[in-house]
């Protein structure tokens, strides 16, 4: 009975958080459309170059600290150590402050000495604007970790959507008059900084009004730093790789014959248009992980094996089905989405051809979160580097053969490597899970994968049918609605069969 109640609570909380996360991503997606139309693919490329380097320093300054703060708080709660909860948060905030302030003090006055970090020097002033929000954003991330550890998921989700709303409103107002690509990228950066200042201020108020208190972090600093370092290394490496791609991909495209403007445009399309669409499953899986990870940590440290295995099975199954449900939509309607949303056919082509990465991406995300919650951060760090090496090789070797698609191929290779390694490690650490529930999970995943092809064919047929009578937007809406109905029917049949 207790397990049933806990399961219902997890699903209810995950549903609310997922709804808010989807709303936030939808808002962000609409803002991307506005950006692409107001500042163009070249301006979006400059913005992405600056944002990718900013993300490196933000990740170094936060990285695994919020997640580790959350896990330490869960552990302290299990041990009924109130002071430990407060010390964990204070230690996390202290570390983030110490890691980000030196970056700001170095780059704001001396940024011109680091132009070699950008594939286009015009991105430097955009980066400097973003840097103003570095400390505020890192501290806000730790406060979010405090909310997660205390299972205040709703508070964190509301703050996230509020931050996105502020960025969209300010961005739209600032971008009403844009003189050039650089001017557009600069104003977009101002909107980001203002949203960071808002979320930091609001989160501090929520923290103290909600009873949050500080405590001496002296005894917690080293354990928290040691525990968060592998996750921070993975996330910082992810940002570094993304930043490296922002430099290498345009360079390799120019080496293959593209002009500087063409290379920047292709990078803007793949990173600023196609990738945000392909990362839509991350919204659902990230929300589910957000709710699931504290549960896994408590069950793991509390030796509640049965509930731990239930949640592991649930996480793997949900992640697989999220990817399998969305894949036919992207494959059938991706071209229309790129043309309608961004007025850029190349974005649509990249969505269609890149959607195959959804399944390994989803499995990588959920299994990495699971292993980290159980203390295997070092192993996931190693797996990440194997995947990153595969991606960088693709970016270096393939642009002359397939242009900007080299980035998508590299991401796919990276996710496959990480997903396989994570699943192998998970099966070794939780052998009973796969022995007792492996067939059930394999059948569920296999059924979802088998449904992808027929649903994709149905989606393509519906899109062609409605395109013969309607313009692109109503044709895509009608085809998508009927495909959703068909998907719902297929999954009803699959789950009925499974129950029988």
What's the pLDDT score for residue 292? 67
What's the pLDDT score for residue 197? 94
For residue 305, pLDDT over 70 is answered with yes
User: Beta-carbon neighbour count of residue 497 at 10 Å?
Assistant: 10
For residue 120, pLDDT over 90 is answered with no
Label residue 380 by pLDDT band (50, 70, 90): confident
What's the pLDDT score for residue 304? 72
Listed in sequence order, the residues at least 6 apart from 98 whose beta carbon sits closer than 8 Å to its beta carbon are: none
Mean local confidence (pLDDT), 350-360 = 90
Q: Is the dihedral of CA 394, 330, 43, 140 positive or negative?
A: negative
Cα(2)–Cα(310) distance, rounded to whole angstroms?
13
For residue 118, pLDDT over 80 is answered with no
What CA–CA distances, in Å, run from 66 to 97, 145, 227, 253, 383?
13, 4, 11, 37, 21
Label residue 1 by pLDDT band (50, 70, 90): very low
DSSP state of 180: S
For residue 116, pLDDT over 90 is answered with no
Mean local confidence (pLDDT), 99-107 = 89
What's the pLDDT score for residue 270? 83
For the chain, state the CA radius of gyration: 23
What's the pLDDT score for residue 293? 67
Label residue 52 by pLDDT band (50, 70, 90): confident
Total residues belonging to the chain? 500
What percentage of the chain carries pLDDT values higher than 70? Answer: 90
Mean local confidence (pLDDT), 472-484 = 89
What's the pLDDT score for residue 461? 93
For residue 424, pLDDT over 50 is answered with yes
- Of all helices (H) and strands (E), which one includes residue 492? helix 472-499
pTM above 0.85, yes or no: no
Mean local confidence (pLDDT), 129-153 = 87
Q: Among 163-167, 191-195, 335-339, 357-361, whose mean pLDDT is lowest?
A: 335-339
Listed in sequence order, the residues at least 6 apart from 446 whose beta carbon sits closer than 8 Å to its beta carbon are: none
Cα(279)–Cα(323) distance, rounded to whole angstroms?
10
- 63 by DSSP, 3-state: which? coil
For the chain, what is the mean pLDDT? 83
Cα(327)–Cα(346) distance, rounded to whole angstroms?
19
What's the pLDDT score for residue 401? 87
Mean local confidence (pLDDT), 380-408 = 88
Label residue 290 by pLDDT band (50, 70, 90): low
What percentage of the chain carries pLDDT values higher than 90? Answer: 14
What's the pLDDT score for residue 430? 81
Cα(129)–Cα(357) distance, rounded to whole angstroms?
33
Burial (Cβ within 10 Å: 0-12, 13-18, ≥19) of residue 28: middle
Label residue 498 by pLDDT band (50, 70, 90): low
- 151 by DSSP, 3-state: which? coil
Q: Name the residue with higher pLDDT: 288 or 228.
A: 228
What's the pLDDT score for residue 205? 94
Nearest CA-CA partner of 476 in 459, 485, 463:
463
> Over the stretch 176-215, which tens digit does the pLDDT of each residue have?
888 888 888 899 999 999 999 999 999 999 999 888 888 8
- 467 by DSSP, 3-state: which? helix
Cα(419)–Cα(449) distance, rounded to whole angstroms?
16
Label residue 433 by pLDDT band (50, 70, 90): confident
What's the pLDDT score for residue 8? 55
Nearest CA-CA partner of 88 in 72, 75, 74:
72
Mean local confidence (pLDDT), 231-243 = 73
What's the pLDDT score for residue 195? 93
For residue 239, pLDDT over 80 is answered with no
What's the pLDDT score for residue 5? 53
Cα(453)–Cα(328) distance, rounded to whole angstroms?
7
């Amino acid at each position: 009975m207790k397990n049933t109640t806990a399961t219902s609570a997890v699903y209810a909380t995950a549903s609310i958080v997922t709804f808010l996360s989807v709303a936030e991503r939808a808002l962000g997606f609409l803002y991307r459309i506005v950006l692409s139309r107001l500042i163009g693919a070249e301006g979006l490329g400059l913005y992405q170059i600056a944002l990718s380097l900013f993300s490196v320093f933000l990740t170094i300054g936060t990285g695994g600290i919020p997640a580790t703060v959350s896990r330490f708080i869960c552990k302290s709660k299990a041990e009924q150590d109130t002071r430990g909860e407060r010390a964990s948060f204070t230690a996390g905030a202290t570390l983030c402050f110490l890691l980000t302030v030196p970056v700001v003090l170095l780059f704001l006055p001396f940024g011109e000495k680091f132009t070699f970090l950008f594939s286009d020097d015009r991105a430097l002033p955009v980066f400097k604007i973003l840097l103003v929000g570095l400390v505020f954003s890192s501290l806000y991330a730790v406060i979010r970790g405090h909310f997660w550890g205390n299972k205040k998921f709703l508070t964190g989700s509301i703050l996230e959507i509020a931050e996105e709303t502020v960025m969209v409103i300010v961005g739209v107002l600032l971008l009403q008059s844009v003189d050039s690509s650089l001017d557009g990228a600069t104003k977009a950066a101002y909107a980001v900084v203002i949203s960071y200042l808002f979320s930091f201020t609001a989160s501090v108020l929520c923290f103290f009004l909600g009873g949050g208190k500080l405590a001496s972090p002296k005894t917690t600093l080293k354990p928290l730093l040691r525990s968060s370092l592998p996750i921070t290394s993975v996330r910082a490496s992810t940002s570094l790789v993304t930043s490296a791609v922002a430099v290498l991909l345009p360079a390799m495209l120019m080496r293959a014959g593209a002009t500087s403007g063409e290379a920047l445009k292709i990078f803007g399309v793949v990173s600023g248009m196609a990738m945000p669409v392909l990362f839509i499953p991350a919204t659902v899986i990230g929300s589910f992980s957000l709710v699931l990870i504290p549960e896994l940590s408590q069950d793991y440290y509390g030796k509640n094996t049965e509930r731990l295995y239930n949640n592991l099975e649930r996480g793997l199954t949900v992640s697989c089905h999220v990817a399998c449900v969305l894949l036919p939509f992207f494959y059938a309607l991706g071209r229309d989405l790129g043309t309608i949303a961004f007025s850029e056919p190349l974005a649509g082509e990249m969505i269609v051809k890149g959607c195959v990465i959804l399944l390994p991406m989803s499995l990588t995300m959920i299994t990495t979160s699971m292993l980290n919650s159980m203390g295997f951060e070092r192993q996931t760090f190693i797996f990440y580097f194997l995947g990153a090496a595969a991606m960088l090789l693709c970016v270096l070797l393939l642009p002359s053969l397939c242009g900007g698609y080299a980035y998508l191929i590299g991401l796919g290779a990276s996710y496959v490597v990480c997903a396989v390694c994570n699943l192998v490690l998970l099966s070794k650490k939780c052998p009973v899970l796969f022995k007792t529930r492996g067939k059930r999970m394999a059948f569920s995943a296999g059924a979802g994968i088998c449904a992808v092809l027929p649903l994709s064919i149905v989606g393509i047929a519906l899109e062609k049918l409605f395109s013969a009578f309607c313009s692109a937007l109503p044709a895509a809406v009608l085809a998508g609605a009927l495909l959703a109905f068909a998907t719902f029917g297929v999954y009803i049949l699959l789950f009925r069969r499974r129950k029988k």
